Structure 1
Amino acid sequence: MNKAYLIDTSIILDDVENLYFLHQNGENHIFICDVTLSELDKKKDLNNQTGFFAREFFRNILSDESNLSEFPPKNSDKIHQIYFLCHNIKIPLQIIHRPKYQTHSLDYGLNDARILEVAKDYNLILLTNDISLKVYAISNSLISQSLMRDKIDNPQDINFLHHFKAHKNHIKDSIEANNDFITLKNWSLLEITEQDNTENSLYETGKRHYGIKLNNEFVELNFDLIAEDKLYINPINLEQKFLYSILTHPKNKITICSGATGSGKTLIALQAGLHLLKKGEVNGIVYMRNTITANDKEAELGFRKGDESQKLNYFMYPLFSAINFMITKMQKESLTKRIEYRGEANSIFNKEATEYFIQKHNIEVMDIAHLRGTSIAKKFVIFDEAQNASNATIKLVGTRMGEDSKIVFLGDPAQIDHPYLSKYRNGLVTLLNKAKNEDFLAGITLKQTIRSEIAAWFEDNL
């Protein structure tokens, strides 16, 4: 049965290919009102992913092909049918122009109220990723849905660590012959409980072995060797050791890591990048994250004071926090380091010690709005807060990776700030889900957190 959808701005700004997905080879009808077109027009000059999708929408409209719609208009409305070209398919769009709206002012939001007015008058299903608009529509007895494309059910259950038991005399052979091991993908994380035997029984020795599956082989990881790397900060628990080991593995190119605040994901990722820089495997570290949400005007760089570098600093607190943690630790442990990193390490403005650290280790902070048309070669790239990035943004970042680069995506699906994304539908959980089966991707979820007593109380009690 054909369905008729009225889509709002959030659907197009999420990804213009949503129109192709909704079309379903002509099974559905797509309506857009003039309010949405006006909102898109205001977004098209933005120098970010939002602006790109607004421009892509207008660029792919076949302006020479327009005619009156077969759908009858209400009152003084006019409905024209235009075509949006995607994957060489002409997707018909019904554009509703209403010269006079009944809604003139409303505290909730004039544009949203007018979109609801059109949906009600034409008995259309309102399709929006704006949760507040969806709830408001439902409260007014209108049918409203969110786009379920790329939704991942139960992302909290995604796991990459697998447990085995094996006799101490033939661990590798025993594991590689295990049917459960054979079905695992590359970069699966393994914990093996060592066993031994007497003449009459088999027992566990209490020793654990750790490793990964790579090219159908069990590759053991000796975490004791990490100390030989002489790191600024050593991983302190099993999860952090696994993360550091796969990030620095020469055959791993892409890592996806989820973990709550306090899990150490940014700190360990930075330390891995510093080690690779020291070894000459990369010639720099690039840190990036989203600096804008879809309707948070104050989060746009253009609304901050200062030059671009100063504006970016407001959004790079996790990086500066990790750097300052390293500097403080080094200053406490070594007089030489106190002299080298003299001065103030500040988490907001990269002054003195922090700035020196960034310059010494060739760390670059990059705005994703400037990635299009660039290529990042031989860098260790940290994309933080990936849960606040759409799949399209993740694709943009990934396609900028050049030769000999590595990239790690970090985030916490429970910490969604983007108004059009959710913990079930965002760039991070999409990658985590793909990492379950893709041999090219390494994935890890960090469950352990190291929190202050205050932070732990708020986490557990509110």
Structure 2
Amino acid sequence: MDDRKRKIFVLDTNILLHEPHAIFSFQEHDVVIPMTVLEELDRIKDSKRDVARDARIAIRTLEDIFKEATPEQISEGIRFNTEAKSTGTLAILADFELHETVKAFADKAGDNRILNAVIHLQKKSASRDVVLVTKDINMRLRAKGAGVRYVEDYRTDQLIDDVQYLTKGFVQCEGNFWDKVDEVNSIALAGKTHHLVHQSTIEQPYINQYVLDTDSDFATRVTRIEEESITLKDLGRDKLMSRRAWDIKPKNIYQGMALNALLDPDIDLVILTGAAGSGKTLLAMAAALEQSVEQKMFDKIIVTRNTPEIGESIGFLPGNEEEKMLPWLAAVTDTLEALHKNDHCTEGSLRYICDKANIQFKSINFMRGRSIQNAFVLLDECQNLTASQIKTIITRCGEGTKIVCSGNLAQIDSPYLTPVTSGLTYMVERFKNFEGSANVHLNGVVRSRLAEFAEENL
């Protein structure tokens, strides 16, 4: 690549916290790390925040690259991928030596120094594009206001451009499905009916995708995809709606599909998305109790979730780990109460069930390094996790473990995530062709008519 066409990318701290190996995403260009970023990584790596581990990984990555470099080489830039044919370099800029032109926000001295570094590089390398890469929306606005010409978000791990294109987990055909089929070969396997139809019948099919129509009882799931044909497992809408788990029945067809996936022993990962009140946590917990207590399929139920400030605040709460986690997992305990609200003694039933099913409430920070065997894992509020955090949790699951990941992309609390960059979105797209996973988007709010009206009109 011509030197003038090579860009200079200046990375903000939040990029390395979001993806510690982000520097390798700029193979043909030059990457500059301001000294301020290293100072902020140093402060974060020893903190109790959940991003401390990502900060340490980023620091070790930089140390591996610069360990044999001289100070002059570090400031000028060295190739960070010598084995590949890439021409990109990595440099550290001593931004504290620069003349300040941006002095806004006295409490944001670090941000000001990074902006000054970008403006300095713009003037120094006028013939090249200098791009600030940050996940902080306000930082992008401030940068443009301060005179930075090019500001971008980090999009390497973004698989879709708009959340409306996110896979729903099912396709609903208008009219009667069989009216659109020219040829079908139906066979019976292990007491189940399977239909072989031409692949063009369904647009872009993938494994474990549900197929419905609007005019009949037709309801199937894709079980096999070949060059010219796809195999549909006949489920039947009435059968989906009649499934029960811990005395819970589906209230709509979307819950019926979700319950089918949750109770299928051949599916190891179930991803549930949908609005607040659509029944994600209730269905997951009902399926967990049904398969753990009644069917003895799992030895324990592990419930965990991410909270942005959990690393700093959990230590101030009284009790052991599980007691500290209870305030964060109130949605799950509320669900347990709802499942046993008609019992003679609800509190006694909850204590009995928690012991019988061996329900454990765990902090996501303590899931790293574990190997979870024969367990039903419920990972709630996944919309606030990054792709690397999702990977950390899923790779903990060993033999006989089923994991359910649920979340609502409209309720993201992280300041650095959007619906298209959320780990939940990333997971849905990455696992849609994996035969051991299923994804269902729950349409409709069934919590109450008040919740339904609020979801639609507020």
Deviations 1:154-190 (A, max 9, x none): 222323323362289x894694223335863221102
Report what 1:149 is aligned to: 156
* Cα drift, residue 207 of structure 1: 3.7
Matched with 1:387 is 383
- TM-score, scaled to structure 2: 0.82
**2:383–2:409 CA contact under 8 A, matched in 1:** yes
Task: Say which of 282, 287, 291 aligns to 2:303.
Answer: 287
Structure 1, 386-395 or 434-443: larger mean CA deviation: 434-443
1:225–1:54: structure 2 CA closer, same or farther, 3 Å change rule? closer
Further displaced range: 131-140 or 158-167: 158-167
Change (3 A) 1:228 1:67: closer
Match of 2:233 among 219, 244, 248: 219
Shift of 1:229: 4.7
For residues 306 and 80 of structure 1, the distance between their equivalents in structure 2, rounded to whole angstroms, comes to 53
2:25 corresponds to: 21
Unaligned runs of 5+ in 1: 72-78, 194-205, 332-336, 344-351
Aligned residue for 2:272, secondary structure, equals strand
CA deviations over 1:285-312 (Å, ceiling 9, x no partner): 11111122xxx58865345555432332
Residue 51 of structure 1: aligned partner? 52
Q: Do the aligned partners of 1:386 and 1:409 also contact (CA within 8 Å) in 2?
A: yes
Q: Distance in 2 between matches of 1:225 and 1:431?
A: 25
Task: Report if the CA contact (8 A) 1:291-1:367 is conserved.
Answer: no
Correspondence for 2:211: 190
| SS across alignment from 2:120 | helix
Residues 374 and 401, structure 2, Cα contact 8 Å, conserved in 1: yes
- Equivalents in 2 of 1:386, 1:362: separation in Å? 23
Q: Alpha-carbon deviations, 1:9-46, whole Å to 9, x = none?
A: 11101111211112x1xx21111112111110111124
- The equivalent of 1:434 in structure 2 is 430
Alignment partners' CA distance in 1, 2:303 and 2:46: 25
1:67 paired residue among 66, 70, 95: 70
The residue number in structure 2 matching 1:75 is none
Q: 2:259 pairs with 235, 241, 244, which one? A: 244
Q: Given that residues 242 and 250 in structure 2 are in contact (C-alpha distance below 8 angstroms), is that contact kept between their aligned partners in structure 1?
A: no
Does the 8 Å contact 1:385/1:412 carry over to 2? yes
Deviation at 1:375, TM superposition (A): 0.4
| Residue equivalent to 1:396 | 392
Alpha-carbon deviation of 1:3?
Answer: 0.7
Q: Specify every segment of 5 or more residues in structure 2 that has no aligned partner in the other structure, as ranges.
A: 123-129, 188-193, 225-229
1:302 and 1:131, CA in 2 relative to 1: closer, same or farther beyond 3 A?
A: farther
- Distance in 1, matches of 2:445 and 2:78, equals 53
Q: Aligned partners of 2:47 and 2:78: how far apart in 1? A: 25
Q: Would you say 1:166 and 2:178 are equivalent positions? A: yes
Q: Is the 1:259–1:412 Cα contact (8 Å) retained in structure 2?
A: yes
Task: Write the letter of the residue equivalent to 1:43.
Answer: I
**Are 1:112 and 2:108 an aligned pair?**
no
Contact preservation (8 Å) 1:291, 1:301: no
1:99, CA displacement in angstroms?
4.2
Q: Which residue of 1 is the match for residue 199 of structure 2?
A: 179
1:260 and 1:230, CA in 2 relative to 1: closer, same or farther beyond 3 A?
closer
Q: 1:100 to 1:415 in 2, by over 3 A?
A: same
Gap change, CA 1:44 and 1:281, over 3 Å in 2? same
Residue aligning to 1:312: 325
> Aligned pair in 2 of structure 1 residues 316, 359: CA closer, same or farther (>3 Å)?
same
Is the contact made by 2:15 and 2:154 (CA closer than 8 Å) also made in structure 1? yes
Question: What is the Cα deviation at residue 80 of structure 1?
Answer: 6.1
1:327 paired with 2:337, answer no
Q: Normalization by structure 1: what TM-score? A: 0.81
Q: What is the distance in 2 between the residues matched to 1:395 and 1:416? A: 19
What's the offset of the Cα at 1:271? Answer: 0.9
- 8 Å contact kept, 1:33–1:115: yes
Match of 2:42 in 1: 41
Q: Which moved more, 1:311-320 or 1:215-224?
A: 215-224
Change (3 A) 1:354 1:119: farther
Task: Give, in angstroms, the shift of residue 425 of structure 1.
Answer: 0.8
Contact preservation (8 Å) 2:223, 2:233? yes
Q: Does the 8 Å CA contact 1:210/1:220 hold for their aligned counterparts?
A: yes
2:432 is aligned with 1:449: no
Q: Provide the C-alpha distance between the structure 1 equivalents of 2:349 and 2:81, rounded to a whole number of angstroms.
A: 53
Label 1:276 to 1:415 Cα distance change in 2 as closer, same or farther (>3 A): same
| Larger deviation, residues 4-13 vs 217-226 | 217-226
Query: Out of 277, 287, 295, which is 1:262 matched to?
Result: 277
Identity level (%) = 26
Moved more, 303-312 or 3-12: 303-312
In structure 1, C-alpha distance between the alignment counterparts of 2:206 and 2:448, rounded to whole Å? 37
Aligned residues: 420
Distance 1:114 1:108 in 2: 12
